Amino acid sequence: MRIALITPYGAAHRNGNWHTAARWARFLREAGHTVRVQTEWDGRPADLMLALHARRSFASIHAFAERFPSRPLLLALTGTDLYRDIHEDANAQQALELAHRIIVLQERGVDELATHLAARTRVIYQSSPDTARKSARTKVFEALVIGHLRPEKDPFRAALATAYLPESSHIQVTHLGGALSEDMAATAELAQGKLPRWHWAGDVPHKTVLNRLARARLMVISSVMEGGANVICEALAADVPVLASHMPGNIGMLGEGYPGYFPVGDERRLAGLLSMAERDPDFYAELLRHARTRRALMRPEQEASRLRQVVAEFEQMPII
């Protein structure tokens, strides 16, 4: 099939949407499909459109549906559209109605959708290939935060948590990710000056992120809004347990009974979990056991198979 894959962000952004689009394009090409990845549909005929993000990709979704109303339109809901836009934005809501299939990136995503949309919805967990472990740093217990500095990520929660660690702690928290505004950059510089256990590394290549994960002891994700974070997949692929804010997108990735949750916005509870992970081998082993169980859902072969199955539902349809 000729597939138009629409992502609101191009390669220059190197964010989660782009990584998802690039990975899905590869999976579909390996299955024999022809895939064009675009930030906006150029109007060239396609047998199927697969669009990421309901609101940001709406112009392409609407144009394709008008020109080819009988051709399959697949819509993948990411974070801000799943947990904000589809509840308050008319374009995002219309995109849902136009879609023949809706894709969510973790099991709790379906909870956000109206009942009549549930039958059209499929769950596809994102994935990452295994990352070989490297020797961890011996003099520090390193935790990573990975992602651009933007409000939805609550990016300074781990920084604030370091102020509540005991003096004897060897925890160091490193944030890998660029600032998306001057205000965020200024706050990061200020935090780095006042909180010696927290370091902002800025924007780094993806290869560097994976190399740092291979040596890290923990990853922290403190988001207030998350559709299904690919950084969780990457952490589990590197055998790194996660401490996560207790919100639907993270619960859908890590499971209801995961022991590493802290309340959204609660740096004191996060500090307590960081300290337990450092000091209590049994707690760390429990985190790791749960993480390894969830890892089975997030392997590349699983993601590729689920994506191809969704597309295959429409391969026998006559193209009109």
Two tokens at 248? Answer: 């639907």
Q: What is the pLDDT of residue 14?
A: 57
pLDDT tens digits, residue range 134-161?
Answer: 988 888 999 999 999 999 999 999 999 9
Tokens 């490193």 correspond to: 174
User: What counts of helices (H) and strands (E) characterise the chain?
Assistant: 14, 12
pLDDT, mean of residues 279-306: 97
- For the chain, the structural domain boundaries read 2-127+299-312, 141-298
pLDDT tens digits, residue range 31-88?
Answer: 999 999 999 999 999 999 999 999 999 999 999 999 999 999 999 998 889 999 999 9
Contact 107, 91 (CB under 8 A): no
Rounded to the nearest integer, the mean pLDDT of the chain is 94
Q: Does the pLDDT at position 11 exceed 90?
A: no
Spatial CB neighbours of 184, under 8 Å, sequence gap ≥ 6 = 149, 150, 155
Q: What is the pLDDT of residue 105?
A: 95
Alpha-carbon dihedral of residues 205, 210, 216, 217, nearest 10 degrees? Answer: 140
Burial status of residue 249 (CB atoms within 10 A of its CB: 0-12, 13-18, 19 or more): buried
Tokens 């596809």 correspond to: 124
Higher pLDDT, 90 or 18: 90
Two tokens at 138? Answer: 């011996």
Using a pLDDT cut of 70, give the percent of the chain over it.
96
Q: What architecture is domain 2-127+299-312?
A: 3-Layer(aba) Sandwich (3.40)
pLDDT tens digits, residue range 196-241?
Answer: 999 999 999 999 999 999 999 999 999 999 989 999 999 999 999 9
Task: Judge if 2-127+299-312 and 141-298 fold alike in CATH terms.
Answer: yes
Report how far residue 31's alpha carbon sits from residue 114's, in angstroms, rounded to the nearest whole number: 32
Contact 302, 236 (CB under 8 A): no
Please tell me the pTM assigned to this model.
0.91
Alpha carbon of residue 84 to chain centroid: 16
Q: Which amino acid is at 126?
A: Q
Residue 214: CB atoms within 10 A of its CB come to 17
Report how far residue 30's alpha carbon sits from residue 299's, in angstroms, rounded to the nearest whole number: 16
Q: Domain 141-298: give its CATH superfamily.
A: Glycogen Phosphorylase B; (3.40.50.2000)
Residue 263: CB atoms within 10 A of its CB come to 12
pLDDT, mean of residues 161-170: 97
Report how far residue 103's alpha carbon sits from residue 98's, in angstroms, rounded to the nearest whole number: 13
